[in-house]
A and B are shown apart, each in its own frame.
Chain A
Amino acid sequence: MKKLLGARVLLNRHTGEMEPAQIFFGSDDTNRRHYEELWKPDLVRRNADFPDWGASAEGNAQDSHWAWDEIMKSTLAYENFVIECAGLTQGIMNVNIATRFATLPPHKGRELAYIDRIATAPWNRHKLHPKPKYMGVGRTLFATCVSLSIDLEFGGRVGLHSLEQSETWYRDELGLTDCGFDETEEMRYFEMTEEQAIEFLKGAEVLS
């Protein structure tokens, strides 16, 4: 099932202009085709430049091996989102809404929206392309996740494990709390509290 949630914008770095973008709940065969025919070959090609998986983080191409059906989880625990612009899939996000819980006070143990994957198309990534095209995919999808969390009455609480190259983004740009290195996942864990979600959406100006 694929449903349009709303029209927003992305910045075309090449022209400096904002372009219309569409945010969807779910995905369809068009998104699958974009991933299989456009994303994956680019990621695999880039990935082959590195001697091993760990080093491929340098090229931000660690997701090269995933099949579409693995990405778009069809279980009830997950909500999936895509963002399109210029007729192409520019980003994807999977959110686990069932089995992860807040670790920070004052709502420790309460539900949160846990981002299992938030990925932008390879042609939008700095480390993959010398002149990446669209900017804003990460913020738009994250804001969508905060909206989901509020809609589910999770208070805007969001959690995620960040790739090393994105830690600055979540800590310094989006204002999540850096909860430190999680030995289980071998990644740093970040969490947005209810209070931080209010701050994040400050000035967002959606009244109804």
Chain B
Amino acid sequence: MKLLFSTEWLEQKIKSDADIETDAGRALERSIVADDLARGKSSIVAPRAAVQLRIALGTLVRQLRTRDGLTLPEVAVRADVLEDELRQVENNPSYTARPRLLHNLSKFFGVSLNNLSQMSGATIAVDRRLYNTAVQFAAHSDNVSSLSREQLEVLEAFVGMLNESA
């Protein structure tokens, strides 16, 4: 390829340009959890954003099985995962789920594996939109044994977003 601008043109333009910021691109805007990690926060205490995402993941899994009328042990059997691991995912925001568990849950509930992995803290980079939506979803969801129509709608919208952005 050829550069279609001369040195003289460039020189003239630079001299007359406003001296302001020029950086751009979605790549610069895309990650959030990785940034927390890059700040060198404690490796013992999970980064704030990662904890929020895991809370959202636990809420999602619990609500999906509630929607389907299944108990935790029933999901463990049907999805072929360890009951204790599943319990950790639902209730312990410090717990990082293993890839196999996420894979099986993804298949069982029909939710994007990539997004489940990001929510579990298993990946370094996390999509900012996913982060925002997941935190909102968790904040508006109660820990209940049955879902109201409104809760079901919120859940379905979130699942739709997860699969749409996969």
Q: Kindly list chain B residues whose C-beta atoms are within 8 Å of the C-beta of A166.
A: 20-24
Q: Kindly list chain B residues whose C-beta atoms are within 8 Å of the C-beta of A68.
A: none
Known: A146-B4, A147-B1, A201-B5. A161 touches B14 (CB 8 A): no
A116 touches B27 (CB 8 A): yes
Whether B34 is near chain A, meaning CB under 8 Å from some CB there, is yes
B25 touches A116 (CB 8 A): yes
Q: Look across to chain B and name the residue whose beta carbon is closest to the beta carbon of A148.
A: B1
A60 touches B24 (CB 8 A): no
Known: A9-B11, A47-B39, A186-B29. A60 touches B23 (CB 8 A): yes
The A contact surface, by secondary structure, is mixed
Q: Look across to chain B and name the residue whose beta carbon is closest to the beta carbon of A44.
A: B38
Whether B37 is near chain A, meaning CB under 8 Å from some CB there, is yes
Q: Kindly list chain A residues whose C-beta atoms are within 8 Å of the C-beta of B28.
A: 62-63, 117, 119, 163
- Interface residues of B toward A: which range? 35 or more
Q: Kindly list chain B residues whose C-beta atoms are within 8 Å of the C-beta of A38.
A: none
Other-chain contact of A65, B14, B21, B37 (Cβ < 8 Å): B37
A147 touches B27 (CB 8 A): no
Give the residues from 113 to 149 in chain A that come closer than 8 angstroms, CB to CB, to chain B: 115-120, 125-127, 135-140, 142-144, 146-148
Known: A18-B11, A53-B36, A65-B34. A206 touches B24 (CB 8 A): no
B4 touches A150 (CB 8 A): yes
- Interface residues of A toward B: which range? 35 or more
Q: Kindly list chain A residues whose C-beta atoms are within 8 Å of the C-beta of B14.
A: 9-11, 18, 135-136, 139
Known: A23-B3, A143-B3, A165-B23. A173 touches B18 (CB 8 A): yes
Q: Kindly list chain A residues whose C-beta atoms are within 8 Å of the C-beta of B15.
A: 11
Other-chain contact of B129, A10, A48, A186 (Cβ < 8 Å): A186
Whether B150 is near chain A, meaning CB under 8 Å from some CB there, is no
Q: Look across to chain B and name the residue whose beta carbon is closest to the beta carbon of A43.
A: B38
Q: A165 vs B15: C-alpha distance in the bound complex, in angstroms? A: 21
**22 A–B contact pairs at CB < 8 A?**
A5-B1, A6-B2, A7-B7, A44-B38, A47-B39, A53-B35, A65-B35, A66-B27, A66-B31, A94-B25, A115-B25, A120-B22, A139-B10, A139-B13, A139-B17, A144-B3, A170-B24, A184-B129, A185-B26, A186-B128, A186-B129, A201-B4
